[in-house]
Amino acid sequence: MEPMKVASLFCGCGGMDLGLIGNFSFLGKHYSSRPFEIVYAVDNDNYCARIYNDNFNHKCLVKDVRDISKSELPNHDLLIGGFPCQSFSISAQNPPRLGFKDEKGKLFFEMVDVLKEKQPRFFIAENVKGILSANKKQAFPMIIKEFEKAGYNVKFKLLNSSDFGIPQKRERVFIIGFRDYKDFMYFEFPKPTTLNGNKVRLKTVLDKKADLDEKWFFSQKAVDGMLRVKHKLNKGRNQNIEQPCNTITSHLSKVSLNSTDPVLIIDNRYRRFTPREAANIQSFPNNFKLLSVSENRQYRAIGNAVPPVLMWHISNSLTKLIEDNAFEQSIFKELNNNNVSNEIMQIYTSEIASNEKTICNW
């Protein structure tokens, strides 16, 4: 099967892209190649682009999506990207309309404009759990409506990384659009691969050497400041290494203990994660290169990324759909080439139609 061409918007350091194409290993398991080829990748963060370009054969274009002519994008079968959700607004019109509070809010509409212009067969959008409740739960239905107006049948699901062999409790919404209604009917989101009893524990990805390096420990001044406002802190910040880690963010480089980012307690001292540990928590393979940018930039890029292993499971589900459709088409072609009687063809097509009706009713 020929690889499907992919355009990647807001690609960051490449977590979504790596998971999509596969061919990497994590915690002793190999995630095989999937039939996708990135033909276009863009991000406006030069530091993320450096990391991206160190890890992929194709290159990330450093540019603001708003400055790109949509017609200039190469033709593609799949559009992927994670757009900011903090900046939506709901107008008081009748009916209400989706708008944006600032420039970041426009990025969602840029993705929609690409879909309208290029009409790829599929799209995959990723976002934080909060998008479901944004603007008093008014924004998300309108986001789906905008995708539908672009010509797509849309499914979405909230997935937790810890359900898929990743040592992190990270919930993200995946929105998948299908231009063909048949693809929409047959697609199934991936099923969890790890149940409560066998979640991957944080301690499996920690570096014991970091426990011996003073660099990664918070100063006594930072600890004293934390203790003064301890009642205001998220109680889940001190991590149980026998469980998956809480969600890591782009703020892990901060030396302050007053945020809600997860930390470790080693011999009664507070330690932050190293950039490589953060990458491991996100399920990046050990050979994923980070060192071309500062540690602060590494934290930011990794914290904003989509966990590659989680994205691989999405990619694998989409691959199954594509392969099943290709197999069905080959059967039709074979039947036609062998001059099968109209009666047999009608029986075969009726059986397929019956299965589709069952799926619709379900």
Domain span holding position 263: 202-288
Does 101 map to a domain?
yes
pLDDT at position 225, please? 72
210 and 183 within one domain: no
* CB of 307 closer than 8 Å to CB of 161: yes
In the listed set 261, 288, 315, which residue is the last one of a domain according to the structure? 288
Residues near 213 by beta carbon (within 8 Å), at least 6 away in sequence: none
Residues near 58 by beta carbon (within 8 Å), at least 6 away in sequence: 38, 39, 41
pLDDT at position 1, please? 77
106 and 37 within one domain: yes
69, 29, 328: which is closest to 165 by C-alpha? 29
Q: Rounded distance, CA 65 to CA 7, Å?
A: 12
pLDDT at position 355, please? 54
Domain count, the chain: 2
pLDDT at position 233, please? 54
Does 65 map to a domain?
yes
Q: Which residue has the tokens 């757009």?
A: 83
Does 154 map to a domain?
yes
225 and 116 within one domain: no
345, 317, 353: which is closest to 36 by C-alpha? 317
249 and 147 within one domain: no
Measured between alpha carbons, how far is residue 267 from residues 217, 222, 270, 336 in Å? 11, 17, 8, 72
pLDDT at position 352, please? 54
206 and 180 within one domain: no
Q: Which residue has the tokens 């011999």?
A: 267
- Residue-by-residue DSSP string for 37-106: EEEEEEES-HHHHHHHHHH-SS--EES-GGGS-GGGSPP-SEEEE----TTEEE--SSS--EEESSGGGH
Does 112 map to a domain?
yes
208 and 178 within one domain: no
Does 158 map to a domain?
yes
67 and 215 within one domain: no
pLDDT at position 357, please? 43
* Token pair listed for 244: 């998956």
166 and 139 within one domain: yes
pLDDT at position 339, please? 61
pLDDT, one tens digit per residue, over 111-137 is 999 999 999 999 999 999 988 888 788
pLDDT, one tens digit per residue, over 217-265 is 988 877 777 777 665 555 448 899 999 999 998 888 776 676 678 999 9
Which regions of the chain are under pLDDT 70? 85-105, 229-236, 255-256, 258-259, 326-362
Q: How many CB atoms lie within 10 A of CB 192?
A: 14
92 and 37 within one domain: yes
182 and 56 within one domain: yes
Residues near 124 by beta carbon (within 8 Å), at least 6 away in sequence: 16, 20, 78, 79, 80, 81, 174, 175, 176, 177, 314, 318
Instruction: Let me know if 245 is a catalytic residue.
Output: no
CATH of the domain at 282: 3.90.120
Residues near 277 by beta carbon (within 8 Å), at least 6 away in sequence: 205, 206, 207, 210
104 and 85 within one domain: yes
State the maximum Cα–Cα separation within the chain, in Å, rounded to a whole number: 83
36 and 150 within one domain: yes
The residue from 11, 13, 60, 85 that is catalytic is: 85
141, 138, 142, 150: which is closest to 177 by C-alpha? 150
Does 337 map to a domain?
no
Mean pLDDT of the chain: 87
Strand locations in 133-259 (E):
153-160, 171-178
* CB of 310 closer than 8 Å to CB of 189: no
Does 298 map to a domain?
no
Query: pTM of the prediction?
Result: 0.87
* Token pair listed for 104: 């970041």
Vertex 161, ends 155 and 166: CA angle to 5°?
A: 145
pLDDT at position 240, please? 95
Does 338 map to a domain?
no
CATH of the domain at 43: 3.40.50.150
